[in-house]
């Protein structure tokens, strides 16, 4: 569009052990991402959600379906795709503790990729302000959780300013000391065999090996201190930028409908005057809606998650993800159009790939592709009205 800048957003960028080399440092990430190197050629700014840390070899690379640490070479692929900024406020940022968080920021920044949502000590910023084509954009990122029950890493008092949290870090953690002997025995057995083998055993037995996770707001609500910090961050962003974009990492994994936690925050953020909310974490595409003057995406789904993982609940096509495009008028400093493109995660010749719609047009049965497109569009807009295969689908235009 003339006189507009184009800002693009990705879903969850992950690097799982299933598709990395046995020696992760030998992984050729280009085999995965090369098909989408040109996906963002028309974008002026690209913002991703990076769901792994870059903690270095000594911290141990990814060896668990719920705990990630990737080689630094992954950053080269982010650069080749044209990703400018990544949110680090997500449930995996503490998978290797505060050291992993800090090294991730340093490696990304050294390679020219800006970060927000997680910070070095004493360097917290209320919003990341960037200017693109004469438009000042403020990006704020927060996460609902930090995988505390898996990594057991609780931020100290002095580390709390290093990560933006939507809720208390220990919320939802089950204390085994408060459960019966059967619960303790189950946890002990699980620690011996590992959660991935536990899932595989259940699958072999014909039992559900993973389930949809609901995101419910606690009866006591969100701590006032957390809400006050978010309000302050948004006020700062509105004062210093033309548009405010909020990136929450929240919601229930594989939950087709947002829960009360996500619904609360979407309405809260709209009430604070946020222009656009771009959510991630559920690992499937969820709905888009306009709340007051705020354009809200609950979940863009995945950008690079293995659809064959034992972790996946496949009902809502997690192999597809949205790339959302916001067109912002340079003069009005406001959003004039919203669209999305589709990516799909596939295996081809035993190689995990992320591919775009043009790749799919050339390799998939057209009727099957249209059926999938309508399935995803119904998730986003509530409508099954796609009659042709396009690079972008417009969902709002002035």
The tens-digit pLDDT sequence of the chain (398 residues) is 789 999 999 999 999 988 888 899 999 999 999 999 999 999 999 999 999 999 999 999 988 788 899 999 999 999 999 999 999 999 999 999 999 999 999 999 999 999 999 999 999 999 999 999 999 999 999 999 998 877 889 999 999 999 999 999 987 533 333 445 554 454 455 555 555 565 556 556 665 556 788 899 988 999 999 999 999 999 999 999 999 999 999 999 888 899 999 999 999 999 999 999 999 999 999 999 999 999 999 999 999 998 877 667 878 999 999 999 999 999 999 999 999 999 999 999 999 999 999 999 999 999 999 999 999 999 999 999 999 999 999 999 99
Residue 259 tokens read as: 């829960």
The domain tally of the chain equals 1
pLDDT in tens, 315-344: 899 999 999 999 999 999 999 999 999 999
- Tell me which residue range forms the domain holding 251: 4-397
Are the C-beta atoms of residues 356 and 343 closer than 8 Å to each other?
yes
Are the C-beta atoms of residues 52 and 29 closer than 8 Å to each other?
no
Show the CA angle centred on residue 335, arms to residues 332 and 340, nearest 5°.
150
DSSP-derived secondary structure letter, 152: -
Q: Can you give the CATH number for the domain in which 300 is found? A: 3.60.21.10
Q: How far is the C-alpha of 127 from the C-alpha of 115, rounded, in Å? A: 11
pTM for this predicted structure: 0.92
Q: How far is the C-alpha of 97 from the C-alpha of 99, rounded, in Å? A: 5
Are the C-beta atoms of residues 14 and 32 closer than 8 Å to each other?
no
Residue among 275, 250, 251, 281 at smallest CA distance from 396: 275
């Amino acid at each position: 569009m003339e006189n507009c800048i184009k800002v693009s957003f990705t879903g969850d960028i992950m690097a799982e052990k299933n598709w990395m080399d046995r020696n992760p440092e030998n992984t050729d990430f280009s085999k995965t991402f090369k098909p989408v190197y040109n996906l963002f050629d028309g974008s002026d700014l690209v913002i991703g959600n990076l769901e792994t840390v870059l903690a270095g070899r000594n911290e141990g690379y990814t060896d668990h379906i719920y705990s990630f640490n990737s080689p630094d070479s992954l950053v080269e692929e982010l650069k080749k795709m044209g990703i400018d900024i990544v949110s680090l406020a997500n449930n995996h940022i503490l998978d290797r503790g505060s050291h992993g968080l800090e090294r991730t920021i340093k490696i990304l920044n050294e390679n020219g990729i800006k970060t927000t949502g997680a910070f070095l000590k004493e360097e917290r910023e209320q919003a990341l302000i960037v200017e693109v084509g004469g438009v000042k954009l403020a990006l704020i990122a927060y996460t609902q959780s930090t995988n505390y029950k898996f990594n057991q890493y609780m931020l100290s008092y002095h580390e709390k300013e290093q990560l933006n949290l939507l809720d208390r870090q220990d919320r939802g953690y089950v204390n085994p000391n408060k459960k019966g002997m059967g619960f303790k025995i189950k946890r002990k057995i699980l620690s011996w065999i590992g959660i991935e083998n536990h899932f595989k055993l259940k699958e072999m037995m014909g039992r559900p090996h993973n389930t949809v996770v609901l995101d419910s707001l606690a009866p006591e609500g969100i701590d006032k201190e957390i809400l006050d910090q978010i309000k302050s961050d948004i006020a700062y962003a509105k004062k210093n930028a033309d548009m405010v974009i909020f990136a929450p990492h929240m919601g229930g994994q594989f939950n087709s409908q947002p829960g009360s936690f996500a619904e609360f925050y979407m309405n809260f953020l709209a009430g604070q005057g946020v222009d656009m909310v771009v959510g991630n974490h559920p690992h499937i595409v969820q709905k888009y809606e306009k709340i007051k003057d705020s354009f809200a995406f609950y979940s863009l789904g995945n950008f690079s998650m293995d659809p064959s993982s034992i972790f996946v609940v496949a009902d809502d096509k997690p192999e597809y993800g949205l790339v959302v495009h916001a067109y912002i008028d340079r003069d009005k400093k406001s959003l004039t159009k919203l669209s999305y493109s589709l990516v799909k995660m596939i295996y081809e010749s035993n190689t995990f790939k992320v591919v775009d719609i043009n790749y799919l047009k050339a390799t998939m049965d057209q009727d099957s592709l249209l059926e999938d497109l309508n399935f995803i569009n119904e998730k986003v807009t509530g409508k099954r009205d796609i009659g042709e295969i396009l690079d972008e689908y417009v969902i709002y235009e002035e």
